[in-house]
Copies of this chain bind each other. A is one copy, B any other.
Amino acid sequence: MNSYQVIFLPGDLVVEVQAGSTIREAMDLAGIDFDFPCGGRGKCGKCRVHVPAGTGDPTATESELLQPRELEAGIRLACEARVHGHMTVELPRQLQHNILMTSGERTYRIEPHLKKIFVEMAEPSLDAQHSDWHRLKDSLAGRGYNPACLEIPVALLRRLPDTARRAGHRLTAVMHGSTVAGLEEHDTVPVMLGMAFDIGTTTIVGYLLDLYSGEDLCAVSTLNPQTRFGADVISRITFANREKGGLNRLHTAVVEAVNKLVGEAVKKAGVTREQVYGVSIAANTCMHHLFLGINPGNIAAAPYVAAVSEPVVAGAGELGIDINPAGRVFVLPNIAGFVGADTTAVLLAAEVDRSADIKLVIDIGTNGEIALGSGERMVACSAAAGPAFEGAQISCGMRGADGAIDHVKFQDGLSYSVIGGGKPLGICGSALLDTVAGLLELGMINKRGKLLPPEQLTGEAAGLKDCFVEHGGQPAFVLAGAGETGHGRAVMITQSDIRELQLAKGAIAAGIRVLMEVLGVEPGDIKEVLLAGAFGNYLNPHSACVIGLIPPELESKITMIGNAAGTGAKLALLSSGEYRRAAGIAEYVEFVELGSYPRFNSIFARGTYF
């Protein structure tokens, strides 16, 4: 019987099917995930594809369900139209998937990095003594691969003879480009999972995904075990270079954490490690290097150069990642030494590279990464905010965990909310912002950040007088008295805390200012402000604008986009097209080194004022 080639666009996936097969059958063979709402029974007319040639006349069902002008334009139903010649099938927008973000949905196309191809190899005979590899190549050639380009590592050649024979020559080849990355007995095509990781300096989050459907199976997270060697990036770089085997200990720690999270996730989802074929990694440049086992030392000293910024693809085994041995690790590209792959992931998720409008993207952490621009041009910098936003170096500061006051209101007297709902234990960054913003609006903090004496309080605010105390020789403002808290000590902010906040917000504000100068734009030119990251998601935009962290003109344009780095990592894992786009983003974004920017110091000093 004749067989014909069917090429699916976009993606150029080629399959060979027997004459008379339906396009649906060809899709099955190609492993294309396509929606047949009625189960392919010719009832719903939803499986429209564009077939310019190679199929016969429309069936009665097609004539009924499709408009004459659709039929004229080559639109057919995949469950009805049959293959009667070589053909090109253009897939519709239905293959566009959506990923949920805090700010709504983000559309993307699933394009797995790896493909699983089920083949039935010819069995050898005295008349056809071709080698096992030759026959496997023949089978793959029948599925659209160019046999001259196919490659296989020696480790798999060693397994090929036995695997083929145990499975009766029915194998699934796991393909990475034209390289055979894995060989599995029988048909394992239906399952292919992956994990996207956002490796933060403090926290590692992993998402288990179905690589065919993009479905989020579960999320897991853990403290980055490297914290025991140093809390921040600089102390880890020091550890890597001063302690014996320091680099290797940091590298091993993060790899083990990733492996542990893979284990947790597959257990939670009731699947196995062996079903995980891909891992993507978003991380700041230092975490990126440590994950790869590369010394990040040169990031820490001028001129702050990364060893590698480009996308890195490595075998799972090469990096010690315990997933299917055929698996690959896709590390997102860095933009610069202090603007890492996590920022690339945020920009990928936020699609700023496709925007005609100018957008400001801020991911606030110990370092605030700021990007400003549009698809035409984008500049980015890293502002050394210090740990104030994360509650560190603040007298009653704590992370945004149970017991932290996270929001403070000055309407109708002072009120606050506590994470977890219990008695307060301290304040986190967002509450620090709210408090300082509130006191500023009450006129109790002047432009230079000085906490004024409570005598100046008037009207409604006069009720707050008792909150002003002296603590350790400096003025302070009490949010919760000793009797209200979980530990019996008052929770307050002191004059020093305000100074810390001024430095932190000054760094971010200066970064934004410099980027605006470089791009030659004013706040009015900025159409949207996207706040990414845990802190960005928590803070009150109004407070951020009152204290001048974000130019006040932009308050109405602020959107929280949540853990966009995680979303970017997911996109890069699910779609090789998105991964390539990430490479493009890392290349086109211009890094601005604040330290060497003229007049940076005066811009920063001005930025610390309220």
Q: Which residues of A contact B (CB under 8 A)?
A: 124-134, 153-155, 157-158, 160-162, 165, 292-295, 297-298, 302-310, 312, 314, 318-319, 334, 336-337, 591, 593, 595-596
Contact = CB atoms under 8 A, between A and B. Distances in A.
Contacts of A312: 154, 157
A261 B518 CA distance: 63
Contact of A307 (B132, B305, B314): B132
A165 to B, nearest CB: 8
20 contacts: A126-B595, A126-B596, A128-B303, A129-B305, A129-B591, A130-B309, A132-B307, A133-B307, A133-B309, A134-B309, A134-B310, A153-B318, A154-B293, A154-B319, A155-B318, A157-B294, A157-B308, A158-B292, A162-B295, A165-B298
Given A154-B319, A295-B161, A309 B124 contact: no
Contacts of A319: 154
B305 A124 contact: yes
A312 to B, nearest CB: 7
A132 B298 CA distance: 10
B306 A131 contact: yes
B158 A303 contact: no
Given A126-B303, A126-B593, A129-B591, 7 more contacts: A124-B303, A126-B302, A129-B304, A154-B314, A157-B307, A161-B294, A161-B307
A154 B292 contact: yes
Contact of A129 (B130, B134, B292, B303): B303
Nearest to A294: B158
Contact of A133 (B160, B310, B314, B318): B310
**8 tightest A-B contacts by CB?**
A131-B309, A124-B305, A133-B308, A131-B306, A126-B596, A161-B307, A126-B303, A124-B303
A393 to B, nearest CB: 28
A330 to B, nearest CB: 13
A297 B131 CA distance: 13
Contacts of A304: 126, 129
A391 B312 CA distance: 58
Contacts of A302: 126
A595 B129 CA distance: 13
A306 B132 contact: yes
Contacts of A133: 307-310
B307 A131 contact: yes
Given A124-B305, A157-B312, A129 B593 contact: yes
Contact of A292 (B124, B157, B297, B303): B157
User: Which residue of A124, A128, A595, A596 has the most chain B CB atoms within 10 A of its CB atom?
Assistant: A124
Contact of A158 (B127, B160, B293): B293
A467 B126 CA distance: 48
User: Which residue of A130, A165, A595 has the most chain B CB atoms within 10 A of its CB atom?
Assistant: A130
Contacts of A124: 298, 303, 305
Nearest to A125: B303
B131 A308 contact: yes
Contacts of A127: 596
A353 to B, nearest CB: 19
A297 B132 CA distance: 12
A128 B165 CA distance: 56
A180 to B, nearest CB: 12
Contacts of A128: 303
B161 A298 contact: yes
User: Which residue of A125, A131, A302, A308 has the most chain B CB atoms within 10 A of its CB atom?
Assistant: A131
Given A124-B303, A303-B125, A334 B158 contact: no
Contacts of A318: 153-155
A609 B165 CA distance: 42
A241 to B, nearest CB: 11
B591 A295 contact: no
Contacts of A154: 292-294, 312, 314, 318-319
User: Which residue of A124, A154, A336, A591 has the most chain B CB atoms within 10 A of its CB atom?
Assistant: A154
A589 to B, nearest CB: 13
Given A153-B318, A294-B157, A336 B129 contact: yes
A7 B394 CA distance: 65
A23 B211 CA distance: 54
Contacts of A158: 292-295, 307
A306 B130 CA distance: 7
A76 to B, nearest CB: 38
A313 B130 CA distance: 19
B305 A130 contact: yes
A308 B157 CA distance: 7
Contacts of A160: 307-308
Contacts of A297: 161
A153 B313 CA distance: 9
A295 B166 CA distance: 14
Contact of A334 (B131, B314, B336, B337): B131
